[in-house]
Amino acid sequence: MRNSQTPNSIDAYLEIGKKRTFAGAIDWPGWCRSARDEDSALRALVDYGPRYAHVLHGTQLGFRAPTDTSVFAVVERLEGDATTDFGAPGKPPSSDARPVDGADLRRFQALLAACWAAFDAAVQAASGRELRRGPRGGGRDLAEIVQHLLGADAGYLAALGCKSDRGNDPGREMATRRQAILSALTAAAAGEIPERGPRGGIHWTARYFVRRVAWHALDHAWEIEDRILPG
């Protein structure tokens, strides 16, 4: 297992679109933020460091939030596309092609559990509360956010060559989807998922799968937290 965080350096990558840039920490899936340019994206990553540390509190994963962008060593710059500019990181860093050993797998399982717990806590905090709308009344309500996450996770599983049953009860479906994610991750780490699908499409790697699942859960957990109206 490689962990690039030292007292002096955290490996990061940048996904650079025409309108938006994402900055992500190589070894900390879920810690990924965006802004209009490289410097602002790295600054956003620092700003969200304490929130990410709160998510991982109690996991014993050893994360320490930095206080300045100088801690980041940008090891890769990726050319973004329409997905990047739309608002989602869509390019895997080359290091995500590395194999996943037993220690990595246990670490990823703990990290995903922490991200899911953060999302669940945000949903619970927002239950029965009004969420702030955008300037034109836009923005999903709480039930729509939950359904959006469920749909996206199903898509992420498909990108790994796996499926998950859908259901009528969001809570049960969420539990089923998460178990499918953990099972798919274990299979991918063991090399049981072929690189290409039956139609020739390239499957995601295990590391990129974790990166996308963790990012999406936290992105919406933090969105919910920020949109809860007082009262």
CATH of the domain at 30: 3.30.160
Mean pLDDT of 73-88: 97
- Predicted confidence (pLDDT) at residue 8 exceeds the cutoff of 90: no
Lowest-confidence segment of 6-10, 42-46, 91-95 by average pLDDT: 6-10
Alpha-carbon distances, residue 80 vs 15, 41, 49, 172 (angstroms):
5, 14, 23, 35
State whether 148 and 186 are in the same domain.
yes
Among residues 63, 96, 129, which one ends one of the domains?
A: 96
* Domain enclosing residue 23, as ranges: 10-96
Give residue 186's pLDDT band: very low, low, confident or very high (50, 70, 90): very high
Q: 10-16 and 21-25 as β-strands: parallel, antiparallel, unpaired?
A: antiparallel
Q: How many whole angstroms separate alpha carbon 187 and alpha carbon 6?
A: 30
* 3-class DSSP state of 64: coil
Residue 51 lies in a domain: yes
Residue 146 lies in a domain: yes
- Predicted confidence (pLDDT) at residue 167 exceeds the cutoff of 90: no
Q: How many whole angstroms separate alpha carbon 145 and alpha carbon 218?
A: 12
- Longest Cα–Cα distance of the chain, Å, equals 53
State whether 129 and 212 are in the same domain.
yes
Say if pTM beats, i.e. exceeds, 0.85: yes
Mean pLDDT of 98-106: 97
Inter-residue contact 116 to 219 (CB < 8 Å): no
Q: How many whole angstroms separate alpha carbon 75 and alpha carbon 54?
A: 26
State whether 38 and 62 are in the same domain.
yes
State whether 141 and 36 are in the same domain.
no
Question: What are 120-131's pLDDT values in tens digits?
Answer: 999 999 999 999
Q: How many whole angstroms separate alpha carbon 227 and alpha carbon 187?
A: 37
Inter-residue contact 206 to 185 (CB < 8 Å): yes
- Predicted confidence (pLDDT) at residue 205 exceeds the cutoff of 70: yes
> What is the total count of domains within the chain?
2
Question: What are 151-166's pLDDT values in tens digits?
Answer: 999 999 999 999 888 8
- Predicted confidence (pLDDT) at residue 3 exceeds the cutoff of 50: no
Residue 38 lies in a domain: yes
